[in-house]
Structure 1
Amino acid sequence: MITYSNVPSPYPSIEVNEITFSVTRNLQAALRRLRHKDIERRLWIDQICIDQSNLGERNELVSVMQLIYGFAERVVVWVGEGTSDVHGAVALVKGVAHLFDDPETMLEQAIANFTVLRQWKALNRLLERTWWKRTWTVQEFVLAPHVMSLCGRRVFSLTGLRRLPTVIDRLKSHKEMWPYVGGVSTFGLTTVFASRKALRYDGMNTDSGQLNMVGINSLQLILQVLARYRSREITDPRDKVYALMGLAKDVRDVGVEGLTYSIQADYGKSVAEVYRDTTLFALLSTSSIEILSHCREGQETFASWVPD
C-alpha cells in the first residue's frame, strides 16, 4: 500500500508497506495518475523496487533490467504531468501521423490542417522534456514489447511517435512549413526508435518471451550503443554503461590469455574503474581499437586511452 504526505518539501514522502522514504515530485505525480482508486494495481518502479542503499541488490537487479522490461506485460512511459498545451501537442502527433501514409499530398494536407504555430511550439516543449534526454529511459522504451506513452491524462500513439521524425524531416524541406516545424527537434525520438526497430517489435504481434527470440542478434555492439546515447543525461556517471548493457549483444565474458573480462554492474567501483573496464572489454571483444577514437583531449579524470 502506498500513501502520500502532503507536507511541503523539495522531496515528497510516500509510505510503502509502512516504510517511509522520499521520492521526486515527478514520481509522486506519476503514482497519483497511475493508481486505480477502487482496485489494486501492480507496478514496477525502479526507484521504489530497488533498494538504492543496498549495493548487492542494486548490482543484481540493474544487471537484469533488460529482462524486467522485456518480459513486462506493458511499460508505461511517464513523460510528465500534463500542462494546458499538452492536448494540442497530442492532437498534433496523432494528426501528423496520418500524413505518413500519403507522401504525395503531405505538404498540401499539412498546410491545410497543421499551421497553428502554438501547437508546434507545444510539441517541441513536449519533446524537450527530461524523459527524452535521460539514459535510463532508453532500455525501458526499446526493450518493452508493449509501450504506452502518457503525459498527464493524455495517451500518445506509439505509431504516431514513430512516424513523427520522418514526417517532420520531410516538412522541413518545404519553405511553407519551415516556420512551424523548423524549431522542432526529434533527435531523442529518432535514436530510441532506431534501437527499437532492431528488435522488430513495431508492427508485429509480439508474445511473452519475445525478447529471447526476436531480433536479439540485430542488437548493436556495446561501443555502438554507448556512442549512440553518449549525449543523454544521467545522475550517476557509471550508468552511462550500466543503463545500456541490455542493448548490447556482446556484453558477455571474453577470455584473453587466461584472463576474463566482462561488464557487470558493480556500484562498488569508481567511475574511472567502470570506464576503464568497459574500454578493455570493447578492445578485447571486438579486436579493434575503434573505441580509442572516442577519447577526447583535456580528460583529467581518466587515462588518455579511456573515453570519458
Structure 2
Amino acid sequence: MRHYQYKPLEADEIRLLELQSGDFDAELKGSLLIFKLPEDDEPRCGHEILLMRDGGPDTPNAPNYDALSYTWGESARSRLFLNIMDDGKLSQMDIKPNLDGALRRLRQDIPHGESRMLWIDAICINQSDIPEKSTQIQKMAMIYNRAESVSVWLGGEDKDSNRAIEFIEKLLKLDDFDPLTRDPGAPAEWAALMNLMQRPWFNRRWIVQEISLARRATLFCGPQSVSWQDFSAAVSLFVSRYQDLRPLFQSSKDFQHHPNFLGEVDALGAKSLVDITNNLFRKSDEGVVLERLLSLEALISTMTAFEASSPHDTIYAVLWLAYDAEPDSKDSAAMCQDEVLRTPVQSPTIDMFPSQDEGVFRFGDDLVESPKSVTYRTPFPGRGANDSAPAPRAPAAQRRTGRTLLKPPTGPVRSFSARSASDRCLRIAENQFEDDPQPIVVDYEKEIYDVCRQFLEFAISRSKSLDIICQPWAPEPQRHEPQLPSWISQLSGAPFDKKPGQNCYGRVLADPLVGSSGHGPRNYNASGKTKIYPNKDFINGRTLLVTGFVLDAISVRKGPALEGIIPSSWLDLVGWSGPPDPVPDRFWRTLVADRGPGGHKYPPAYYPLACKWVFEQRSRRGNINTSELLTFGRCPSIAMEFLRRVQSVVWGRRLILTAGRRGSKQLLALAPAEVEEGDLICIIYGCSVPVVLRRRKKRKADDTPSLSREETSTSSLQDYSPRNQDQYSFVGQCYVHGMMAGEGFKHQREHGNKLKVFHLV
C-alpha cells in the first residue's frame, strides 16, 4: 500500500485527523483534513470563515477538535501504521508504539459509526518539511489553547496505575485525607500515586506549554482517566504532606521499613508542572489566556525538572509562555538609547553610540534565510498604541562611527551605601537605558553556546541583573561542540537528581542562594540596587564583562558537606567546642544562610535552640549526619525544620575563612566545593549574592581567538576585547556572613578595594 503524501498548507492553515471509531484491536483508520485556524478566538457574528485556495476549494474554519499531548517514545520493532483515506484512495502512515496506544485508547470513547477530530503533532505536521514545521510550531500555542480539550496520554496500564487513579478519588474527599496520611495500609496507594507522577510525560519540556494552555485537559493511563484539575489537586495534597508519610513507610515491611522511600517529592516534574501551570497565566472562565505572568528568565530558571530531546528546546519550548517573548511576523520596534550616557564617578564610565541599524530587526523572507528560523519579538512593557513614541536615535553618521568605551573611573573612587541607594545620579543614569533587548531568533542550526548567549543577552538586558549566572539552567553541549564558558551554569548543577538504581529523586547539591529569578523580591541584596555594568555589549565572543570589586580572598577551606554531613572541622574553624557552650551567632546563621524555611524570610528566633539540639547529637567523630537525623532519629519538629533548611544551604558546600586582606577582619563564608585557596570573593554589579572568581593567566596577543566578521565590524567589541586583560573563571555563588545586604560597599570604602572590570571566560 502506498505511503501517505502530504498536501501543502497555506500560512494560516492546519491539518486535523478525523479518527474513525472501531474496536480496540481493529486497524486504525482516519482522514487528514485541512482547515483554516482564524486569528480571532471565535468567528465574529457566528459566520463561517472561508479561505479561497488557489485553484482549489474553499477552506472552512476549523471545527471543534481535541489536541493530544504525549511522548513520542521509541520506534517499534515491527511496523505500526495508521490508514489514511485520501481522495477515495487508502494510504498508510507509520506511527510509533506510544501514539498507536493513545489512538486506540481515545477511539474507545468514540460512538460506533462516528468520528473525532484530533490535532497530533506527529501526524498533522509534515515532519520532513522544514518550512512547514517551522510555521506550524509557531501555531502550537494557539492550537492547544483553541482545542476544546487536551487529551494527555501517559501510557499503558501497569500494576499500579489503576490503583493510583482510584486513590486520587479518595484523596479529594477532604474528610478522609488526614486519616489516609496515618493509615498503616495506605503506603502502597501513596507509592502508586508516586509512580504515576514519574511517568515520562511529566518530564517533557514541551508539555508545560501544552497543558498550561489547555482549556480543559484529561489524563489517560491505560483504560483509566482523570481530569487534570483533579490530578493537580491530588498532587498538591500529596506534596503538602509527604514528609508526614515517612512513619508509614518506616513501619511497612513491604517497603523494607524505608522512611525515605518517596525521596524528594519536591523535585518531581509532576509537582513542578502543577506549580507552574497554576501561576503561569490569568485566564477567562472559558480558558482563554488573558495575561501571561512570568518572564522568560523566571521560566527558564524554574524549569530544571523538564527535559528536552533537543538542547535548543531548553529555550525554544517555553518562548510563547513568557510575557516578554511573543511570536510575531511584523517589524520589531527599534531599540533606542541616548547618544551619550555618562555615569557618576562611583561607576564605570561609558560612552556609547549604537552601530548602524543596531537593534532593528525585520521579519519576512528577505531576512529569514534558513527555513528553520522564526523570530520572536519583545513588546515594550506598558507602552500601548497610543503611548508616546520612542526617543529619537542618534544620527546615522554617529551610529556608523560611534564606539563604546568602558573603563574604570580615573578619579578617586567614592563608594556609596548600596543598602540605602542614596546616589540619585546613579539611579537616573541606569534608568535611561531601554528595557528592550534584541529579539530571540529560533534556529536549530545554531550551536548551543549561541542559543545560550542569545537567551542571556535577552534575560540580562531585561532584568539588568546577573543572578541568572548563578542558576543551573543550560543544557549540555553536543559532543562536537566546545564546552560552555564558566559563567553559563549547566543543569548538571541542579540541586536534585535521580538516585542510582532508584526511581526517586534525592538531593545532590545545595539550592541556589539567589532563589528563583523573577519570583518576588530577591533573597539577598549584596550588590545593593546596582545593575549590570556595562549595560550593553556585556558579552564579547565567549567572554562576559562584569564590573565590581574584590571583597577578599579565600585563606582557609574546610571539607565539603558531602551527602549533607557537616564535618567536625567546621566547628574548629569558628572556635566552638560544641554544646553546652552557646552556639556562635555567625555559625548558626551561616548554616542556614541567615534565612528561614524557603530562604525568603529572616530565620526564626528558635533556630539557635534547634542548632544546639542538633549538635548535641554528634557522632563520636564529631560529624553531623543531617539525613540520618531526619530519617532515623526521633527529631523534634523544630529541629527537623532547621535541618531541612541546613541541607538546602550546606549540601556539597565548604565552610571557608577569608584572608582579611588590607587590614580587614576575616570573613566566614559558604562556598562551592570546587573553591581553592587564593580564589577571590567578589561583589559584582547586578548580582544579589557574592561570587567566587578564579584568576587565570593573562591571554597573550597571539592566543586571542579570532573574531567573526560581524564581531570585528563593531568597534565597541574591539574596545572590550580581552586581549592582554586578566581573565577569570566563574567558580560559583557564595554566602558571606555579614556581607549579604550591601555591607560590601562599606567594606570597599574602608579598605580601598578598587572598582574594576572582570573578563569572565
TM-score with structure 2 length normalisation?
Answer: 0.35
User: In the alignment, which of 480, 484, 488 is matched to residue 302 of structure 1?
Assistant: 484
Letter in 2 for 1:12: L
**Equivalent residue number for residue 314 of structure 2:** 240
Q: For the Cα contact (< 8 Å) 1:74–1:146, is it kept in 2?
A: yes
The whole-number CA distance in structure 1 between the counterparts of 2:286 and 2:177 is 35
Name the larger-Rg structure: 2
**Mean Cα displacement is larger for which, 260-269 or 75-84?**
260-269
Instruction: Sort the Cα spacing of 1:108 and 1:305 in 2 relative to 1 into closer, same or farther, 3 A.
Output: closer
**Equivalent residue number for residue 207 of structure 1:** 286
1:183 aligns with 2:277: no
Q: For the Cα contact (< 8 Å) 2:272–2:305, is it kept in 1?
A: no
1:115 aligns with 2:191: no
Q: For the Cα contact (< 8 Å) 2:203–2:269, is it kept in 1?
A: yes
**Mean Cα displacement is larger for which, 229-238 or 248-257?**
248-257
| Aligned positions of 1:131-210 closer than 5 A | 131-168=201-238, 169-173=240-244, 175-179=246-250, 183-184=261-262, 185=265, 187-198=268-279, 199-200=281-282, 206-207=285-286, 210=288
The whole-number CA distance in structure 2 between the counterparts of 1:200 and 1:170 is 28
The whole-number CA distance in structure 2 between the counterparts of 1:242 and 1:183 is 35
The whole-number CA distance in structure 2 between the counterparts of 1:116 and 1:188 is 23
1:275 aligns with 2:275: no
Higher helix share: 1
The whole-number CA distance in structure 2 between the counterparts of 1:182 and 1:144 is 35
Shift of 1:85: 2.9
Instruction: Sort the Cα spacing of 1:190 and 1:259 in 2 relative to 1 into closer, same or farther, 3 A.
Output: same
Shift of 1:268: 3.8
Shift of 1:149: 1.0
1:9 aligns with 2:39: no
Q: For the Cα contact (< 8 Å) 2:101–2:156, is it kept in 1?
A: yes
Indicate the SS of the match to 2:185: coil
The whole-number CA distance in structure 2 between the counterparts of 1:65 and 1:228 is 22
Query: Gaps spanning 5+ residues in structure 2: where?
Result: 1-17, 20-26, 30-75, 253-258, 327-331, 337-353, 361-437, 491-761
The whole-number CA distance in structure 1 between the counterparts of 2:95 and 2:160 is 26
User: In the alignment, which of 138, 145, 168 is matched to residue 63 of structure 1?
Assistant: 138
**Equivalent residue number for residue 126 of structure 1:** 196
Shift of 1:40: 1.4
RMSD in angstroms over aligned alpha carbons? 3.0
The whole-number CA distance in structure 1 between the counterparts of 2:103 and 2:212 is 22
Residue by residue, what CA displacement relative to the aligned partner does 1:258-284 show, whole Å, maximum 9, x if unpaired?
315212433343433322222222122
**Equivalent residue number for residue 42 of structure 2:** none
Shift of 1:153: 1.7
Indicate the SS of the match to 1:167: helix
Higher strand share: 2
The whole-number CA distance in structure 2 between the counterparts of 1:58 and 1:222 is 23
Q: For the Cα contact (< 8 Å) 1:97–1:163, is it kept in 2?
A: yes
1:285 aligns with 2:465: no
**Equivalent residue number for residue 683 of structure 2:** none
Q: For the Cα contact (< 8 Å) 2:144–2:210, is it kept in 1?
A: yes
Shift of 1:306: 4.2
Give aligned-pair identity as a percent. Answer: 24
**Equivalent residue number for residue 710 of structure 2:** none
Letter in 2 for 1:277: Q
Shift of 1:178: 4.6
**Mean Cα displacement is larger for which, 62-71 or 262-271?**
262-271
**Equivalent residue number for residue 24 of structure 2:** none
Instruction: Sort the Cα spacing of 1:34 and 1:109 in 2 relative to 1 into closer, same or farther, 3 A.
Output: closer
Q: For the Cα contact (< 8 Å) 1:76–1:149, is it kept in 2?
A: yes
Q: For the Cα contact (< 8 Å) 1:148–1:155, is it kept in 2?
A: yes
Shift of 1:67: 1.3
1:259 aligns with 2:441: no
TM-score with structure 1 length normalisation?
Answer: 0.81
The whole-number CA distance in structure 1 between the counterparts of 2:469 and 2:245 is 40
Instruction: Sort the Cα spacing of 1:126 and 1:46 in 2 relative to 1 into closer, same or farther, 3 A.
Output: same
Aligned residues: 292
User: In the alignment, which of 82, 97, 107 is matched to residue 157 of structure 2?
Assistant: 82
Instruction: Sort the Cα spacing of 1:305 and 1:51 in 2 relative to 1 into closer, same or farther, 3 A.
Output: farther
Greater RCO (Cα-Cα under 8 Å, separation 6 or more): 1
